[in-house]
A and B are shown apart, each in its own frame.
Chain A
Amino acid sequence: MPLAELDNLARIGKLKAEPSAASELEGLLRSGTARLADAQRAELNPESRFDLAYNAAHAFSLAALRWHGYRSENRYLVFQTLSHTLKLPAAQWRVLDDAHRKRNLAEYEGVIEVDEALLAALLRVTAELEQRVRALLDAPPGRST
């Protein structure tokens, strides 16, 4: 059964309803896993690790949204739906919100200021997303159940 909250977002045009293909979910998961593994490498620059972890978090979050039968081109919205798609607790969602804002500052104002606490938190939350999305994908796709 589709989630009512996601359905409402689709009705107001924030999300697009579209069934997912298994190959697409696998691709997102593979991309997320590879980036998260590289993000853990302490010999890389914190800025690169931050980018890798951020993109891994996005791939896992998008996989969860696609599993539920929706898509969005808006990265922020993909993160915002995590409280529904993966039942992510608010304190963890806020870390992704912080990371998203930090990334925007970096892209648009050239301010790259990755502090240790944010990188460590992003790595933890992204690993949590991977676990949760893998558990979800073990179940049959959302819109057909």
Chain B
Amino acid sequence: MPKMGIKTAVKKTPTGRTSLSDALFTRTQQRVLGLLFGQPGRSFFATELIGLVGTGSGAVQRELKRLAESGLATVTSVGNQRHYQANPASPLFAPLREIALKTSGLAEPLRAALQPLARRVLAACVYGSVAAGRDTASSDIDLLLVAESMTLEQAHAALEATEQLLARRISVTLYTPAEFRRRKKGGNAFVTKLLAGALIPLLGDIRALG
């Protein structure tokens, strides 16, 4: 029997059961927007996107048609192939790019990939050109991992499927907490530059470490 009574406003805390992108977009939209706006410097063939999205050709074609008609994406015909690319002239380019990086185009798949290792990870973040929004079609995703008793091979194995999902190479720098602290304290050029630059946090708080 339901509990009766006066309704009071209760602030709900996020449960994590619904991801940010699930709340906003369908699966197909998430993947298409994630790919196009996650890598705006790159153009994709329709068939390439259909293969990468993996939800069937019709659904992807419909999204691409809407994106092109609204001007959110540009479409160029090369022979009998159509190339789609995020349109930087669209008024929604910057916000969609930000959404893509914080959700399905980068942070969500990376966080999911690191989940099995999360207990050993003190902090993980994306740094470099992708985080700063200066990436080109050939830029890697630069990932910093500060983790206890983890090997580089384990990190690569955990990220292998995500590289394919995001159609992009992930370049990993792995530090133990002790090594990270030592380098930070010693004013190491790489760590200093990284901490001063743009970051997309994935797990923990890298700036609080040390």
| Residue among B153, B176, B190 making CB contact with A95, cutoff 8 Å | B153
- Mark the stretch among A34-42, A51-59, A67-75, A113-121 that contacts chain B: A113-121
Known: A98-B171, A115-B174, A117-B174. Is A90-B179 also a contact (CB below 8 A)? no
Interface mask (B22-36 → A, CB under 8 Å = 1, otherwise 0):
000000000000000
Query: Does A133 have its Cβ within 8 Å of any Cβ on chain B?
Result: no
B82 sits at the interface (CB 8 A) = no
Given A95-B152, A117-B152, A90 and B160 contact (CB-CB distance below 8 Å)? yes
Residues of B within 8 A of A113 (CB): 190
A14 to B202, CA, bound (A): 40
Residues of B within 8 A of A118 (CB): 152, 174
Interface string of B136-164 (1 = CB under 8 A from A): 00000000000000111110110010000
Question: Which chain A positions have C-beta within 8 A of B175?
Answer: 115-117
CA distance A117 to B153 in the complex (A): 10
Instruction: Report the minimum CB–CB distance from B19 to chain A (whole Å).
Output: 27
Within 8 A of A (CB), among B142-200: 150-154, 156-157, 160, 171-176, 179, 190
Asked if A115 contacts B179 (CB within 8 A), the reply is yes
Asked if B176 and A91 make an inter-chain contact with CB atoms under 8 angstroms apart, the answer reads no
Chain A residues closer than 8 Å to B179, beta-carbon distance: 115-117
How many chain B residues have a CB neighbour from A under 8 Å?
16
Residue pair B190, A124 in contact (C-beta under 8 Å): no
A113→B142 CA distance, assembly (Å): 15
B176 A116 Cβ-Cβ under 8 A: yes
Contact B151 A117 (CB under 8 A): yes
> Nearest chain-B residue to A118 (Cβ)?
B152
Given A115-B173, A115-B175, check contact A90 B156 (CB 8 Å): yes
Docked CA distance A90–B151 (Å)? 14
| Interchain CA distance A90-B157 in the complex, whole Å | 8
Closest A-chain residue to B157, C-beta based? A91
- Which residues 68-112 of A sit at the B interface, judged by CB distance below 8 A? 90-92, 94-95, 98, 101
Known: A120-B152, A121-B151. 6 other contacts (CB 8 A): A90-B157, A94-B153, A101-B171, A115-B175, A116-B179, A121-B153
Please report B residues at the A interface, Cβ cutoff 8 Å: 150-154, 156-157, 160, 171-176, 179, 190
Q: List the 9 closest A-B pairs by CB distance, nearest first.
A: A121-B152, A117-B174, A91-B157, A91-B156, A94-B156, A91-B153, A117-B152, A116-B179, A113-B190
